């Protein structure tokens, strides 16, 4: 929709005609920003919406890159057959076989839970007292019971 109306759109700078093939060019004036009309709004809100659209106009046309002309600088992707960026590091670095440091496994959930429970041990008496209160949620009581069982 151009300016809220359908139908023919008159270009700003139309070309009279366009030759075929490699010499062809647009005759409609190119892409343009169309300020949308919003319906169903309260009185006066559509003018605010229009003011916001006019205050930040969009570019008439965004430059497009063809598939072959993608930017290689700064993309962060290293081509597959490029030279190594780590010449002193063995290929087997991080694996459990061959030269290089083996993969260091992060602590599993059970080990981490035991370490957390030991750290919370100093708070356990206060937490147990709070869990004995009649208005304490059942989830909190289960949590305190879990912490108490992890200590033993």
How many other C-beta atoms lie within 10 A of the C-beta of residue 147?
20
How many other C-beta atoms lie within 10 A of the C-beta of residue 144?
21
What pLDDT sits at residue 94?
78
The pTM (predicted TM-score) of the whole model is: 0.29
Residues of the chain with pLDDT under 50: 61, 66, 68-69, 72
Token pair 């957390």 in the structure block, residue: 116
What pLDDT sits at residue 19?
75
């Amino acid at each position: 929709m151009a300016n809220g109306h359908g139908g023919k759109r008159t270009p700003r700078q139309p070309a009279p005609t366009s030759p075929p093939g490699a010499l062809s060019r647009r005759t409609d004036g190119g892409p343009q920003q169309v300020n949308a009309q919003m319906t169903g709004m309260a009185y006066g809100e559509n003018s605010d919406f229009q003011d916001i659209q006019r205050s930040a106009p969009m570019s008439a046309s965004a430059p497009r890159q063809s598939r072959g002309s993608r930017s290689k600088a700064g993309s962060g992707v290293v081509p597959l057959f490029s030279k190594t960026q780590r010449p002193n590091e063995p290929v087997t670095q991080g694996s459990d076989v061959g030269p290089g440091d083996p993969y260091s496994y992060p602590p599993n959930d059970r080990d981490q839970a035991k370490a957390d429970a030991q750290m919370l041990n100093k708070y356990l008496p206060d937490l147990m007292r709070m869990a004995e209160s009649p208005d304490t949620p059942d989830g909190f009581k289960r949590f305190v019971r879990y912490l108490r069982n992890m200590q033993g």
